[in-house]
Chains A and B, each alone.
Chain A
Amino acid sequence: MVSLEKKMFFLPYKLYAKKDKLLVSFNLAVIPKDMKVKAIELHIPLIKSNEAHIVKVAEITEGWSEETIKLVGIPKERRVVQIVKSIPQQRELIINVTAFHKKWRVKKDNNYGVLVSIKNLDLGYLENKPPFLVVDTI
């Protein structure tokens, strides 16, 4: 049995998942100031697929909400920070997002989150099976 005692778990503060795109942000401003963060991983549940998929992770650099996406589309301001590849039958994608930890902890409104694109995969199911963050703390 693996102890999860040193880990904090966060569900999305904002989430939009449609076609091959997932936009997600988390409120990490609630992590106590005296707590040190060692690592942050984004866990994305995957549906069974026999194919490998290219996964692009981009930092979103402007404000958005589920409502604004419906009105004006997904944010244009973003920069790709990681490209990874899933393997066939993979159940969960784990993306290291530790690099964002300082920015995301300051204020929930400044945390625009990430956009994850997975080619040839409809990510709509994530609305009912949300991704989550695992934060390793000291």
Chain B
Amino acid sequence: MKVFHGIIEIAGQMGILCGALKRKGNIAVGYNTFHTYLGYKDHLINTDAVELRETFKHFLNFYDIFHYHYGASIFIDHDDLQMIKKKGKKVIMHHWGNDVRFHDMARINNPYVYTGDSPSNDAIHQKLTTLSKYIPEAIVQDYEVLPYVEKYYRKVHVLPLAIDLRNFQPSYPNIEKKKPLILHAPTNPKFKGTAIIEGAIDQLRDSYEFEYKRIEKMRHSQVVALYKEADIIVDQILCGSYGLLSVESMALGKPVITFIRPDLVSKFPASLPIVNGNPDNIKKKLKMLLENPLKRNSLGIMGRRYVEEVHDRNIVGDKLLSIYSQLFKGR
């Protein structure tokens, strides 16, 4: 199978999925036009939209499946989608959250959510209406994102975030450590609730011995090296679901605090060991972990196991291939 991925790399997922597909004998290439300080490059061709448009006719002739991400396709007016459809090739859209998070809908079950990075409701509606004219099926990462898009597509698949575990050797928190290290890496502080997290941390400084590091504007590979030193990692406490930082933290054997919306808890496997913290209880959750080194260690072990079962790229890759094969069956 020959698979095109493009054109926006989000959290390294395009590259990881391409790597997983290639490992299983498929030709898969991620074409990325969104270049950030995170510096993703594995299994990617970092290019620009102009070159993609110039060479699109070859893509159209070569690839069997076009797997687009983040609501974007190669041509601004989505001419490529029309051509793909006309040619009888398969296409699927992978939505990641901020591209489709309707502001009002996000608040229904979540008083904390920040949606300032999402386009307006009208713009999201217009975009999804246009995309779904040409794209029958979509993928989302979890049940938080699912409701935003499910009424637009014939079918929406839930595919967990993928991780290449070879790059994450677990380093479980040392139960003897007297001054634990709390880490937080806000790629987007407003979305993650950084101010509230740091407010809670400040309040705990007088009562507990710990270090705190905020990691920002670093290449992804450098960030991962720093995570290894952590004893507690705080991901995002507003969105209502967990993201890549949580997955990577668990892979490294770290306990992680994230807010999982109460109505979504049952949608995840029961073994999910995330400490469920929101703006109202973040201080309490941090306190619990600071006071309990054994808990930090055992959550770390459970996290690694969870990620091996749910997020390993080989497992996710098999699920993705199954989604692709369903596209062909739905001819």
Contacts and interface: CB of A to CB of B under 8 A. Distances in A.
Contacts of B26: 4
Nearest to B19: A5
Contact of A9 (B19, B29, B47): B29
B55 A5 contact: no
A12 B58 contact: yes
Interface residues of A, number: 21
A4 B55 contact: no
A78 interface: no
Nearest to B41: A32
Given A1-B24, A4-B26, A27-B47, 11 more contacts: A5-B19, A5-B22, A8-B45, A9-B29, A11-B55, A13-B51, A27-B51, A30-B45, A128-B61, A130-B61, A132-B62
B196 interface: no
A11 B31 CA distance: 12
B25 interface: yes
Interface string B25-51: 111010000000000010101110001
A5 B20 CA distance: 8
A7 B22 CA distance: 8
Chain B contact residues, majority secondary structure: mixed
A2 B62 CA distance: 20
B25 A4 contact: yes
A94 interface: no
A9 B27 contact: yes
A37 interface: no
19 contacts: A1-B24, A2-B25, A3-B22, A3-B23, A3-B25, A4-B23, A4-B25, A4-B26, A5-B22, A8-B29, A11-B58, A11-B59, A12-B55, A12-B58, A13-B54, A13-B55, A32-B41, A130-B61, A132-B62
